[in-house]
Amino acid sequence: MAAEQRLRTLFAYDRTNRLFSVNLTMQQLKVLILLARHDGIASHELTRHLGVTSATLSGIVDRLVTHGYVTRTEDRHDRRIRRIHLSPAGREVLTDIMDSGNQAQRRLLDRLDDETLLMLETVLARLLDAARADALEQGVDIPDDEATSLEV
């Protein structure tokens, strides 16, 4: 764990990561990430996922709308329900953040020999299994798709 903490500290110095150049709060970033997975989610469901009040969510979403990262629409079946959608600009900023993180990781992996990469693949596969088991014990619904698969 100490080595991982030192690694995270070094990552914090990497100014090539797009995360450092976007003007988003942690809560705003969480909303964008949730919308990437649950686009068009109802506001009340989003408050439940974030553990915030409706008033707090409204302020967060207002700022994201101002940035052009999300849009609000009325539900087609119930006009009282507002649905929150990730805009193309919001999807682009998330993609930029993920891509820059992936590029940084690729630069590091390129410095490792094949034997070390194989060991890392084994360790990551075991960590993934442990994380899935832990999430299941917590009652988290885990999709079995490419987002949770291990690709090295």
Name beta bridge partners: 41.
84
Under 8 Å between Cβ of 83 and 47: no
Give the pLDDT score at 85: 96
Q: Which residue has the higher pLDDT, 99 or 21?
A: 99
CATH tag, 2-110: 1.10.10.10
The string of pLDDT tens digits covering residues 76-132 is 888 888 999 999 999 999 998 888 888 888 989 999 999 999 999 999 999 999 999
For the beta sheet containing 70-74, the strands, ordered from the edge strand earlier in sequence to the opposite edge, are 41-42, 82-86, 70-74
Place 148 in a pLDDT band, splitting at 50, 70 and 90.
very low
Name beta bridge partners: 72.
84
Give the pLDDT score at 146: 43
The string of pLDDT tens digits covering residues 34-82 is 999 999 999 999 999 999 999 999 999 999 999 999 999 988 888 888 9
Q: What is the DSSP letter of 82?
A: E
